[in-house]
A = this chain, B = another copy of it.
Amino acid sequence: MNNETIQHQLNHRSIRAFKAQSLSPEDRNTLLEVARQTSTSNFFQQFSILHITDETKRQAIREISNQPYVGANGDLFIFVADLYRNQQIRQQKGLDDGRLHTTEVFFQAMQDATLAIQNMLVAAESMGLGAVLLGSINNQPKRLVQILELPKMTFPVLGIQIGVPDQAPQLKPRLPLDQLVFENGYPHEFSIEQLADYDEVVQTYYDLRNANQRIDSFTNQIAGAKLADGLLQRDEILEVLHAQGLCWR
């Protein structure tokens, strides 16, 4: 009943092992054209895409991400919230920067970048390619801005590694719809008991990243080390945004 697009979307898996080949120029161009056609807030078109082919930069971003597949086999793209282009347009027309330093306009730019990268991911999967989104590029925001030579008014939002899959992970079970979708208002009553069945399901998933061991339950993951308090280098994010001229108010 579902069409091909939806079948692919319902079968989405992040791919973290790729064959030793790059995208063909035709495929790469198609993926970029799809990203280009994505919805954009107010038609401001406030994102840009960096295709990282330089081996030194790929290695540096791999080190930041701390994931062996980043910048390895396949193609690496970084999607950037880009208010620089529009700042330049305004300045070269003799205008001030207007609302470009506001949080609200930065959020629009971050959303432009995020919508476009998801659109590209869907296109890649429809072509039989595999992909993984990379939040990990921002483990060290300051260093990444330097590596990418980003001017002020830009900020790297997400990366994506795309290539020919060399693994076939299980479908990872998500929160049931009745815990994710609500009618008209958000339910304030929440009991961890609601997730008991789901917790069981999650434990049946085998993560290829961890030597084929089952993973911990969802609520145990949320209670775990990743969300525990502590100052990480990732917390540079606000400092870097402000230094980049973004989110000033």
Contacts and interface: CB of A to CB of B under 8 A. Distances in A.
A237 B97 CA distance: 19
Given A84-B190, A186-B154, A135 B119 contact: no
B114 A118 contact: yes
B9 A119 contact: yes
A50 B219 CA distance: 22
A168 interface: no
B235 A249 contact: yes
A180 B121 CA distance: 17
Contacts of A133: 39, 41, 115
A38 to B, nearest CB: 7
Contact of A90 (B11, B37, B42, B223): B223
Given A4-B5, A227-B99, A38 B12 contact: yes
In the assembly, how many copies of this chain are there? Answer: 2
Interface in A82-108: 84-86, 88-90, 92-93, 95-100, 102-105, 107-108
Contact of A103 (B14, B99, B237): B237
Interface string A162-187: 00000000011011010111111110
A114 B40 CA distance: 12
Given A84-B190, A177-B32, A223-B95, A104 B44 contact: no
Q: Which 3 A-B pairs have the closest CB atoms?
A: A5-B126, A149-B185, A114-B114
